[in-house]
């Protein structure tokens, strides 16, 4: 089935620095969703992207969907300690099941 690859696996940043995680696929994605999972918590929906080249912003978070719909990114400006967690991208396949990437773990040093 479809696989989404996420990089980097892990990133440790100083508070105030920016952070970006990337999601890539060898085939065209019908859509991409992003979830955040805090340590010890469960995935929480952040956003859904559907259109080629789509860009959406949520405060300090910027989400992009590539023109070819084969990649997506999540960028956080000026990270805060509350941003700590694992960020997953996921494609929603037929039947609405989600196929998740392996996630990027973000640690923020204050």
Partner 1 sequence: GAGVSQSPRYKVAKRGQDVALRCDPISGHVSLFWYQQALGQGPEFLTYFQNEAQLDKSGLPSDRFFAERPEGSVSTLKIQRTQQEDSAVYLCASSLVGPGVRIYEQYFGPGTRLTVT
* End-to-end CA separation in angstroms for the chain: 40
Binding mask 37-76 for partner 1 (x = CB under 8 A): ----xxxxx--x----------------------------
- Cβ proximity to partner 1: between 14 and 42 the closer is 42
| Cβ closest to partner 1, residue 9 vs residue 80 | 9
How far is Cα 22 from Cα 38, in angstroms, rounded to an integer? 19
User: Is 98 a residue that touches partner 1 (CB under 8 A)?
Assistant: yes
Looking at residue 50, the DSSP 8-state letter turns out to be -
* Binding flag, residue 102, partner 1 (CB under 8 A): yes
Least Cβ distance, residue 59 to partner 1 (angstroms): 18
- From residue 15, alpha-carbon distances to 11, 40, 54, 70 in Å are 12, 21, 28, 31
Q: Alpha-carbon distance 59 to 83, whole Å?
A: 12
Contacts with partner 1 by CB under 8 A lie at: 33, 41-45, 48, 88, 90, 92, 95-103
């Amino acid at each position: 089935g479809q696989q989404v690859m996420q990089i980097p696996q892990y990133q440790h940043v100083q508070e105030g620095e920016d952070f970006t995680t990337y999601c890539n696929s060898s085939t065209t994605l019908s859509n991409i969703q992003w979830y955040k999972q805090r340590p010890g918590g469960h995935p929480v929906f952040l956003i859904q992207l559907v259109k080629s080249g789509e860009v959406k912003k949520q405060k300090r978070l910027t989400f992009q969907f590539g023109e070819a719909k084969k990649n997506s990114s999540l960028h956080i400006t000026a990270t805060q300690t509350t941003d700590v967690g694992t960020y997953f991208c996921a494609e929603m396949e037929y039947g609405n099941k989600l196929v998740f990437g392996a996630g990027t773990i973000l640690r923020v040093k204050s």
